Amino acid sequence: RRDLKKRLAWGNDRPVSMVRPSLRKTLSLTRLGMSKNGNDDGDKDDVKNDNQLTKLIESTRAKLNQILPPQLVDLWDRVLTKFLNFFPTLRTAVLSFFFGGVLATAAILVPVYTQVDKMTEPVTLFETILTDLDRGYVDRVDTNKLFETGVSAMLRSLDPYTEFEGRTEARELNESVQGKYGGVGLVISGATPSQISKA
């Protein structure tokens, strides 16, 4: 008996509209749900979209019925019904994707923003102190010199080998490393042993 039932269920003589009533019922329930919410203006657009979707599904199903075996057509009908029950309208899918993207972006950027904020607090404090000294100190203050002194002290507190070099020191260091000197091109050398013996 089971074999006979399977043959009848999977045979070519099964009705094509086996899933259609449940699909139409799902679409109409979606429209009813929107009507209950008081969205009567949206009902016309949704009915139009549902009709277009229904026509697309019907044409796809007709093409599949001609090409595929009945088992695959039945599987397609079940998958499509589950998909339409899961996403009643395309608008829901698009909005879900959009809000998911917004939440993912926020989840990535919020930790980065708080980390940047923690790094800028000391810099802002240093800038505030320099500005207050420039405006309110009794004598005229060279803020560049104060800045260089502060940075130099900060680096000295790390270890004895890390140091800050101002503009003039940096220029002198670059000249010594690159080997370019200004001058008349004189070479000073010590006396050679032959010159010493003559003297």
Specify the pLDDT at position 42: 52
Which tops the pLDDT comparison, 2 or 143?
Answer: 143
Confidence at residue 21, expressed as pLDDT on a 0 to 100 scale: 42
Per-domain residue ranges of the chain: 2-88, 97-178
Q: Which residue has the higher pLDDT, 14 or 118?
A: 118
Kind and range of the H or E run holding 125: helix 90-136
Are the CB atoms for 93 and 84 separated by under 8 Å?
no
Structure tokens at 21: 């009533």
Q: What is the pLDDT of residues 142-163, one digit of tens each?
A: 888 888 888 888 888 888 888 8
> Which of 34 and 127 is assigned the larger pLDDT?
127
**Confidence category of residue 136, pLDDT binned at 50, 70, 90:** confident
Mean pLDDT of 165-189: 72
Of 33, 38, 48, 41, which is closest to residue 88 (Cα–Cα)?
33
pTM: 0.32
- The rounded distance, in Å, linking the Cα atoms of 176 and 174 is 5
Q: Which residues, 6 or more positions from 65, have their beta carbon under 8 angstroms from its beta carbon? A: 16, 73
DSSP string for residues in 87-106: -SSHHHHHHHHHHHHHHHHH
* C-alpha dist (Å) from residue 169 to 69, 142, 162, 176, 199: 85, 18, 14, 11, 43
**Confidence check: pLDDT of 27 > 60:** no
